[in-house]
């Protein structure tokens, strides 16, 4: 009887509270937080590279003191290379990346030579091996969810061994390098990219050739190399 009395009192109290305008707030549902995919992670990739190499050279040439003639010329070639990359992306705006280029063929230089400002001949001949590497800071900007543009700013080495320089390396320089490019996501992990990278600009050296016994002749040259790279990257 006592329990019945308490139950009736409880019902009456709740009814009075409702009539008086009191509200009982419903229990809030737990907030569901969607997990956002991380933009950070390691990635690797590779590319096919179109390479343009151009060289301007100058020689003081003669049979007595090396100043009898002045010969100048220019070399240029287009060749193919492969490029390997590996990097780490910190977020959607910045990454660090390393690259290596290796030559895939041994093309010919297109050469024009002048003596005392007069064209003497144009010729083609074989070149030697070519390679390059670089380490870059890679600032990026996401234009859309799947399309990005980026820059490459870094430091690296370019090396050319040429058959026509008395077994002396035509180029072996550590230089500043830069590039611009864009990438598009194919899947969550796979993306395609295309970019332009300037590996060196007007870099060179000079030496005294020993062939023929004319060790008073001096040659010097300046070389510029850029690449256009088309490839794929895989992000872990």
pLDDT band at 6 (very low <50, low <70, confident <90, very high): very low
CA–CA distance, 192 with 204 (Å, rounded to integer): 34
The rounded percent of the chain whose pLDDT value lies above 70 is 61
Tell whether 18 is covered by a domain: no
CA–CA distance, 128 with 108 (Å, rounded to integer): 9
Tell whether 97 is covered by a domain: yes
Question: Is the pLDDT at 57 greater than 70, yes or no?
Answer: yes
Predicted local distance difference test score (pLDDT) of residue 94: 97
Tell whether 48 is covered by a domain: yes
Tell whether 178 is covered by a domain: yes
CATH classification of the domain holding 82? 2.40.160.20
Backbone region of residue 169 per phi and psi (left: phi > 0; alpha: psi in -120 to 50; beta: other values): beta
List the beta bridge partners of residue 227.
Answer: 51, 197
CA–CA distance, 65 with 198 (Å, rounded to integer): 38
- Mean pLDDT (whole number) for 161-185: 80
Predicted local distance difference test score (pLDDT) of residue 235: 95
Contact of 182 with 194, CB cutoff 8 Å: yes
Tell whether 206 is covered by a domain: yes
CA–CA distance, 137 with 98 (Å, rounded to integer): 9
**DSSP type of residue 27:** P
Tell me the pTM.
Answer: 0.70
In degrees, rounded to 5, the angle at the alpha carbon of residue 110 between the alpha carbons of residues 105 and 116 is 150
Tell whether 33 is covered by a domain: no
Total domain count for the chain? 1
Tell whether 213 is covered by a domain: yes
Instruction: Determine how many CB atoms are found less than 10 A away from the CB of residue 135.
Output: 14
CA–CA distance, 193 with 230 (Å, rounded to integer): 6
The DSSP element (H or E) to which 7 belongs, if any, is helix 2-19
Structural domain boundaries, residue 102: 41-235
CA–CA distance, 98 with 204 (Å, rounded to integer): 24
Instruction: Give φ, ψ of 21 to 5 degrees.
Output: 95, 10
Comparing 11-15, 207-211, 224-228, the range with the smallest average pLDDT is: 11-15
Question: Is the pLDDT at 8 greater than 50, yes or no?
Answer: no
What residues contact 112, with CB distance under 8 A and at least 6 apart? 73, 74, 119, 121, 122
Q: What number of CA atoms fall less than 13 Å from residue 119's CA on the CB side?
A: 6
Tell whether 26 is covered by a domain: no
């Amino acid at each position: 009887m006592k329990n019945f009395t308490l139950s009736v009192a409880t019902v009456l109290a709740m009814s009075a509270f409702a009539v008086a305008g009191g509200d009982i707030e419903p229990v809030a549902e737990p907030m569901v937080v969607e997990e956002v995919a991380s933009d950070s992670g390691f990635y690797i990739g590779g590319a096919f590279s179109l390479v343009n190499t151009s060289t301007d050279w100058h020689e003081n040439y003669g049979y007595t003191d090396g100043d009898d003639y002045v010969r100048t010329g220019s070399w240029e070639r287009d060749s193919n290379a492969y490029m390997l990359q590996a990097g780490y992306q910190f977020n959607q705006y910045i990454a660090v990346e390393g690259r290596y280029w290796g030559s895939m063929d041994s093309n010919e230089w297109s050469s024009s030579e002048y003596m005392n400002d007069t064209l003497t001949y144009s010729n083609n001949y074989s070149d030697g091996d070519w390679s390059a590497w670089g380490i870059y800071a890679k600032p990026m900007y996401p234009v859309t969810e799947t399309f990005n543009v980026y820059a490459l700013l870094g430091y690296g080495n370019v090396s050319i061994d040429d058959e026509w320089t008395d077994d002396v390396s035509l180029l072996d320089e550590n230089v500043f390098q830069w590039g611009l490019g864009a990438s598009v996501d194919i899947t969550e992990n796979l993306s395609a990219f295309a970019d332009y990278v300037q590996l060196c600009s007007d870099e060179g050296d000079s030496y005294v050739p020993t062939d023929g016994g004319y060790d008073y002749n001096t040659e010097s040259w300046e070389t510029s190399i850029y690449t256009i790279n088309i490839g794929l990257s895989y992000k872990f």
